[in-house]
Amino acid sequence: MPTMFARLFRRPLELKVEGKDLRFDTIVDFDFALASRTEVPTAKITELVHLSPEELTHEATSVRRVEHEFLDILSRSLKQPGSISTLLRSLDIKLFSQDHDWRGTMSALIRQPKRFDDHKQLALVKYTQYLASRQDVLKEVYGHKQRELGIPENTDTGVGELPFRDTLIFQIPDQPLEELTPTRLTRLGRGENIRLPLAEQQCIPLVLSRHNFQLCCRQGLVLIDEHGSECPLHPGRNIVGRHPESDATVDSAYRDVSRTHLMIHLHQDTTVTLTDLSSHGTFIPVEALNTRISN
């Protein structure tokens, strides 16, 4: 009960950004304000359109490098509750884009006391979503440039027959290939917690980047890859990825699966919370998402 009242009477978040005084009475207000900042501004898109393919590749490489650093911070903050303030202070503020006043907003937010840690966590999630949007725009502009140059489309990559270095950056499509699963899939929002019910003997299809997995409840939780290999998961938080110290280590041959790709939290009531932490996405059936439980 005291926790509930503390949330109800929590002081508003007040930030001064670029000479403007901003006030958010609730974290819902803050979430709403940041939602529009996850898209790339029109001025930035116009700027990217005028870059050469080589310049776009350089830009994508830079964004990917920064994206990996932020995803690492996001993953560590989720694995170590209460660490978000310390982790954000360790970052160079210049890593944040000035688009949508992100740099100024984060600079002001980082200076706020620990009671605003939930706001800091939310802002970090939204910023990684902005970086994902920027990667998508770069990929789209790059593909358009390739078509302008008369390079034929490649149905596997969607961006033409690219040099090997470029395929490492631009190869992953926005959605997995249709033949991966007969069900309609939707991509999880990066960093967002999706809690789902899971009954005994039930399996939920998961696609990590372009690879088929299943999450099954069989006297415990089991993750099964596309070759049928099973990895038991334990109660609480489980990290899935290519990192050798992951709770569920994915085959290193799956190069497009992130080293820290997905967090699966098994609750005592056998519900599971999925949190995507990847560059190339985690996809679940639309029908499964429709059963999500409000936290």
Using a 10 angstrom Cβ sphere, with 0-12 exposed, 13-18 middle and 19 or more buried, the burial of residue 91 is middle
Half-sphere exposure of residue 222, counting CA atoms within 13 Å on the CB side? 15
Q: According to the model, what pLDDT value does residue 155 have? A: 41
The answer to whether the beta carbons of residues 240 and 276 sit under 8 Å apart is no
For all residues of the chain together, what is the average pLDDT? 85
Determine what percent of the chain falls in helix, strand and coil, rounding each to the nearest 5: 40, 20, 35
The pTM (predicted TM-score) of the whole model is 0.82
4-8, 17-21, 193-197, 252-256: which has the minimum mean pLDDT?
Answer: 4-8
Half-sphere exposure of residue 158, counting CA atoms within 13 Å on the CB side? 13
CB neighbourhood size of 80 (10 A): 11
pLDDT at 213 over 70: yes
Q: According to the model, what pLDDT value does residue 232 have? A: 94
The CA distance from 271 to 265, in Å, is 8
- Alpha helix (H) ranges present in 184-237? none
Q: Mind listing the pLDDT tens digit for each residue in 152-169?
A: 554 443 433 444 344 445
pLDDT at 41 over 50: yes
Q: According to the model, what pLDDT value does residue 253 have? A: 87
Q: Mind listing the pLDDT tens digit for each residue in 44-95?
A: 999 999 999 889 999 999 999 999 999 999 999 988 889 999 999 999 999 9
**Any idea where the domains of the chain sit in the sequence?**
2-170, 178-289
Q: What is the largest CA-CA distance in the chain?
A: 65
CB neighbourhood size of 261 (10 A): 28
Q: According to the model, what pLDDT value does residue 279 have? A: 87
Choose among 208, 205, 144, 149: nearest CA to 170: 144
Residue 220 DSSP class:
S
Tell me the residue ranges of DSSP E strands in the chain: 13-17, 20-24, 185-187, 193-196, 203-208, 211-217, 221-224, 230-233, 236-241, 248-249, 262-266, 272-276, 282-285
Enter the CATH code of domain 178-289.
2.60.200
